[in-house]
Amino acid sequence: MKAKPFVKWVGGKTQLIEQLEALLPADFDQWENVIYIEPFVGGGAMLFYMLQTHPNIKSAIINDINPDLTTCYKVVKEFPNELVESLKEIQKEYYSLKSEESRKNYYLMMRDEFNTKQLNPIRNTTLFFFLNRTCFNGLYRVNKAGLFNVPFGRYETPTICDANTIYADSKLLEKVEILTGDYQETFSHAEGRTLFYFDPPYRPLNNTSSFNDYTKESFNDLAQHRLKEFCDKVEAAGYKFMLSNSDCADMFFDDLYLQYVIDRVWASRSVNSNPNKRGKLQEILVHNYQDTKLNVA
């Protein structure tokens, strides 16, 4: 059983993996004792791929500002058996409900409990998984108070407990250190051969397309500039980085990252209430090295 993301996450990189692999440093597979750092881990698609594909990664550091998400990673890593048993129980309870109204009421009750923010790590992670599987479109969104507010998703028998994935992920996470806080704290973990992969909340393509409500803190243009300054710090220290973001019509990132290499990749738009607006769109990938696997192949 391969490890894979254990939650749905807006902006997940599963469909971009091949393109991201092609844009790694050309000699990446020859690096020894690599440290891999993801300061905005999100759903972890790139993390799980990199750890399973590149055995020269000796350790990884992941970070996110969302404590509910990082608690999930810690529980999956350290308490997979307890988590599986807890998920089996909540799945059994949910499946026993025969009407949509009763399932919705149960969902709202679990959402209210989750929003108390007074739960132990196992229960908090159990409800995080449950809400992720049963809310509308698998979204994670919070309001300005930091409370999860996604409506019920009307699924009758979603897979709430995927034990095989949890056990596979737990094994892989053994070499991963999990941080919660400002992404800049990850810099102190870099040494030797280090690759950073930045996947921050994306800058909206226009004024109506914003979706970065993963936390109650916004990631505005000032935050994008602060991240660029951090990339400069990574560059000055001699480390390599890749960074994903939206391909904005105003060329915001082309100007911001003018000194670096910018490639464009195609991603699938999976979150849009209008099905006619779902499809492929360009994203940018910034990196601070010239030779990639793609251009030396």
**pLDDT tens-digit series, residues 181-238:** 999 999 999 999 999 999 999 988 665 444 444 454 568 999 999 999 999 999 999 9
Could you read off the pLDDT of 100-118 as tens digits, one per residue?
999 999 999 999 999 999 9
User: What letters, b where the CB count within 10 A reaches 16 and e where it falls short, cover 141-166?
Assistant: bbeeeeebebebbebeeeebbbeebb
pLDDT above 60 (res 276): no
Q: State the amino acid at position 244 in one-letter form.
A: S
Please answer whether residues 129 and 72 qualify as being in contact, where contact means their C-beta atoms are separated by less than 8 angstroms: yes
The pLDDT of residue 81 is above 80: yes
Domain 14-65+181-296 bears CATH identifier 3.40.50.150: yes
Confidence of residue 12 (pLDDT cuts 50, 70, 90): confident
Structural fold of domain 73-164: Adenine-specific Methyltransferase; domain 2 (1.10.1020)
Between 166 and 10, whose confidence is greater?
A: 166
Q: Which residues pair with 242 in a beta bridge?
A: 197, 287
pLDDT mean over 148-160: 94
| Strands (DSSP E) found in 188-260 | 194-198, 240-246
Answer whether 0.85 is exceeded by the pTM.
yes
pLDDT in tens, 27-78: 999 999 999 999 999 999 999 999 999 999 999 999 999 999 999 999 999 9
CA–CA gap between residue 201 and residue 89 (Å, rounded):
34
Phi-psi region of 154 (alpha: psi -120 to 50; beta: other; left: phi over 0): left
Q: How far is CA 83 from CA 5, 128, 152, in A?
A: 16, 11, 23
- Please state the domain extents for the chain: 14-65+181-296, 73-164
Between the alpha carbon of residue 292 and those of residues 39, 129, 253, the distances in Å are 22, 37, 20
